[in-house]
Amino acid sequence: MTKARKALLEVLKTSEEPVSASHLIKHPSIRFDQATVYRNLHYLEEQGMADSFILHCTEHGTERYYSYRNREDASHHHWFHCQICHRFIDLGDCRYDEQLSRWEQAYGFTVCDHTFFLTGLCKACKSSTASAN
């Protein structure tokens, strides 16, 4: 495992929320070229050590966000994204396995991946925006 990969994995592992490539590129412990960052994020995801999804946010535009994934347990999380403060809230482990296999049986397809996330206003931003009445 190269230095770049170790460094990226470390940031993902210790991050509370999904992080974008641009965020990683600016991160002090990631002193690698953007191409290296992108290439290794792909690598980590291929190896089952990271998860990602694409989200559009008014402030940061359309970007892919990555989070650490333990190769052992197959679990991944889903997230809520606040449109004001742009923070993520962890909704916990994915609970869609059953629903997915029901769909697989109903339609005959095989699901390789799924994307699910919420966007809206978090509790804090809702109250600070309430002044707009």
- Taking residue 41's Cβ as centre, other Cβ atoms within 10 Å add up to 21
- Taking residue 87's Cβ as centre, other Cβ atoms within 10 Å add up to 14
Give least dist CB 47 to DNA, A. 10
Give least dist CB 58 to a second copy, A. 12
x-or-dash string of contact with DNA, 10-29, rule CB under 7 A: ----------xxx-------
**Helix, strand or coil, per DSSP, at residue 7:** helix
Q: How far is CA 29 from CA 5, 6, 7, 17, 25, in A?
A: 12, 11, 7, 17, 9
Is 9 a residue that touches DNA (CB under 7 A)?
Answer: no
Which residues of this protein are in contact with DNA, per CB under 7 A?
Answer: 1-5, 20-22, 31-36, 38-40, 42-43, 54, 60-64
Which residues of this protein are in contact with a second copy, per CB under 8 A?
Answer: 54-56, 62, 80, 82-83, 89, 91, 100, 103, 107-123, 126
